[in-house]
Amino acid sequence: MTILTIPTQPFNDQKPGTSGLRKKVPVFKQAHYLENFVQSIFDTIAAPQGATLTLGGDGRYYNLEAIQTILKMAAANGFGRVLVGRCGILSTPAASCVIRKYQTFGGIILSASHNPGGPDGDFGIKYNTQNGGPAPEKITEAIFANSKKISQYLEYQASDIALDEIGEFDLGGMVVQVIDPVTDYADLMASLFDFNAIRDLLSSGFRIKFDAMHAVNGPYAKEILVKRLGATENSVMNAVPLKDFGGGHPDPNLTYAHDLVEILYGDNAPDFGAASDGDGDRNMILGNHFFVTPSDSLAVLAANAKLVPGYASGIAGIARSMPTSAAADRVAAALGIPCFETPTGWKFFGNLMDAGKVTLCGEESFGTGSNHVREKDGLWAVLFWLNILAVKKQSVQEILMAHWAQYGRNVYSRHDYEGIASDAANGVMQHLHENLGAFSGQAFGRYTVKVADDFSYTDPVDSSVSSGQGVRILFTDGSRIVFRLSGTGTEGATLRIYLEAFEPDTKQHHLDAQVALAELITIALQISQLKDRTGRDTPTVIT
């Protein structure tokens, strides 16, 4: 066995964001760049000799090349076995499933989630811990610290491993076990949901359309929706994963999943539509001519959890990210269970789930999940909805209207301003911070500011503190405006504005969200000075 010790120098830009390290592909293809970060992971986690690692990704450009490098580095760093998805494929929730089922020493997931792919697109890498969830900040900060002082990395000198066939292969004494990327996850879904009820629904004439967006969930949807549940072959569109996602933007929202939206809002529309993103952890839910916000989706799943076998005994609690609407809070209050408000980033839910404090969790950024894994899970959310629809025998719109009649409607929208010059975006946030004290008590139209602050979170499990999580403008009637800079992009800055107003009057529940929120939208632009500071007239994406 020949282990090479390769001298290197640090890069100054390897600080992981909310979902690992994300950069453009040409950045990762620089000499030593990927290797430096991987070695920094290995140096930080200090896995025992002979440990097992999970490895896979979303199939985007550079996925296979990176996996071959990581396998050789894992062998040189003393791992005994690596479980890798066939052809390098593992959706993010499936990777979490594999880590937990086989109790591996965490895993490395290669994905830039919903970001575009291709030779000039985005690439990403993150480490998930032994609970299957993204590494907490104390680990990502340690990885970054090691990346700033690295002077060498280890790599086993060998030919590439064939990853297109299931089996075991030797790499310098380390076993590379190529596994079916779908089976373990599909079996887990079958243990949670009533597949017989869903199968009956789909055989009754109920029509669905699932858009895999040429991303990782295509094979998962084919196996579960078509093979196991009996949906027609054409129920799944864009099912073949492509390195560049077919030139599309694999983000399941009303803008980027426009082909699916046109089908669900067109003539002879299916009864149910859904999409998932690049690595399979996000979801969008649609009914016939009807869109379900992710905030409402979390609330509906929580309110109806007892209808689903895996959650029939009840749920311990709910967690939502701070920018997500308070719709889930109202369900939690009715159920007599806690609802936790956390910063954005799935890793904040992990502690709560491991401590048994929550069962369901979600983010407004099209992510929903539960304690079955430690990642958000797009296809799981789709199956949850289908299970509820099979039991209640109502349309998606009927379920939402009944939910709003019972709990009230948290009218909600997110406006994304993508690709803003970083200086301009930071200027908006600095202006807001400087005026937090002045905003308090001010009246803007019919809204009066109750509190203006920068959200800070103290973890109830380990007492860690996360500050600077987003500017909140909270009004006396319960309405909110939230401003955040996104941590998931790789180019320029994405400024997000979240708008929410509570509406108890059922006569107003039919209103389009943009109409109902028009005054709050005007106030948000006024107090942020966004147009003057960025030159932007309209958002890039509205959800």
295: left (phi over 0), alpha (psi -120 to 50) or beta: alpha
Asked if 295 contacts 364 with a C-beta cutoff of 8 angstroms, the reply is: yes
> Which is nearest to 283 in space by CA: 373, 359, 196, 384?
384
113 catalytically annotated: yes
Half-sphere exposure of 376 (CA within 13 A, CB side): 31
- The Cα–Cα gap between 232 and 264 comes to 17
Half-sphere exposure of 64 (CA within 13 A, CB side): 11
34-38: which pairs have CB atoms within 8 A and are 24 or more residues apart?
Answer: 34/66, 34/69, 34/125, 35/6, 35/8, 35/69, 35/73, 35/153, 35/155, 36/8, 36/10, 36/11, 36/147, 36/150, 36/153, 37/125, 37/143, 37/147, 38/69, 38/70, 38/73, 38/108, 38/125, 38/153
How many other CB atoms sit within 10 Å of the CB of residue 391? Answer: 16
CA 379 and chain centroid, separation: 12
CB under 8 Å to 501, separation ≥6 — which residues? 410, 411, 477, 478, 479, 516, 517, 520
DSSP code of residue 110:
E
> Which is nearest to 88 in space by CA: 126, 58, 119, 125?
58
> Which is nearest to 429 in space by CA: 486, 478, 475, 474?
486
Structure tokens at 67: 């996996």
> Which is nearest to 89 in space by CA: 68, 60, 65?
60
- The Cα–Cα gap between 424 and 480 comes to 23
| Catalytic choice (113, 321, 325, 370) | 113
- The Cα–Cα gap between 432 and 452 comes to 9
Would you call 104 helix, strand, or coil by DSSP? coil
- The Cα–Cα gap between 134 and 349 comes to 10
Structure tokens at 432: 């807001």
The CA distances from residue 204 to 225, 271, 369, 394, in Å, are 15, 12, 28, 13
Active site residues: 113
